[in-house]
Amino acid sequence: MRSASKLIRPLLVLALLGGLLVVISGCGTTTADTARGRELFKQKCGVCHALAQAGTTAEVGPDLDDAFAAAREVGEDANTIEGVVRAQVEFPRPNTGHSINSMPPDIVSGQDLNDVAAYVGEWAGVPGAKPPEVAGGPGAQVFANNGCATCHTLAAAGATGTTGPDLDEVLPGKSAEKIEEDIVEPNKEIAKGYPANVMPQNFGETIPANELEELIAYLQEVAGKEKG
């Protein structure tokens, strides 16, 4: 119990400081659009941070659900967490050359920051949070739940990510076995023009076998069919 309290106390102090920064900077006077914030988060932040409700699973920066779970558990509200997020975006740590410790300056600003901070404040650390239901069947839901749209383009899913290969171009004609290998062992064969270690390495453990089958079947069915 003592060690847990030692972990929670600094987080609460940080949260209170973040809340003060929100008040001082005059935030809260602008209406935030959390639906827009979710899309911006996926585009701008999801390539580094995991957040269950956004369906992002990146491991470059801190997992935001883990980061705010303790604060949420002891009663900190969405506004406080929003303030912390805003402060961290506006005043990121100096660049140390390590992405786990450094965030690019001005990654979002103005109304974009309002929307992203409000969205993260609403959902980070919420127990049981998961992405909204999507059309397209169970495989499409697995695609959404695991943040594939954050990095990949897939027209059928409305995905326009560019961090990873365009699935409409690279998947047609691939066997189910090869697609599975690409998902669970992404570093085994690196797509030309893309670096290693960008795609999470643990999908073989985090995606249940039945969901992996659904995802692969979905990708085989739709990849390249709606391109253009």
The domain limits of the chain are: 2-123, 138-222
**One-letter identity of residue 22:** V
Domain 2-123: which CATH class?
A: mainly alpha
Q: Are strands 153-154 and 56-57 parallel, antiparallel or unpaired?
A: unpaired
Cβ pair 61, 85 in contact under 8 A: no
3-state secondary structure of 125: coil
Q: Are strands 159-160 and 153-154 parallel, antiparallel or unpaired?
A: antiparallel
What would the CATH number be for the domain defined by 138-222? 1.10.760.10
- For 97, residues 6+ apart whose C-beta sits below 8 A from its C-beta are none
Question: Please, where are the H alpha helices in 109-171?
Answer: 110-123, 138-145, 148-151, 167-170
3-state secondary structure of 102: coil
- For 62, residues 6+ apart whose C-beta sits below 8 A from its C-beta are 49, 100
Q: What is the pLDDT of residue 101?
A: 58
Q: Are strands 50-51 and 56-57 parallel, antiparallel or unpaired?
A: antiparallel
Q: Which of 60, 50, 178 is nearest to 120 (CA)?
A: 50
3-state secondary structure of 159: strand
Q: What is the pLDDT of residue 29?
A: 44
pLDDT digit string (tens) for the chain, length 228 residues: 444 444 444 444 444 444 444 443 444 446 899 999 998 998 889 888 999 999 888 888 899 999 999 999 999 999 999 999 999 999 987 766 655 557 888 899 999 999 999 999 999 999 999 999 999 999 999 999 888 988 899 999 999 988 899 999 999 999 999 999 999 999 999 988 998 888 888 899 889 999 999 999 999 999 999 865
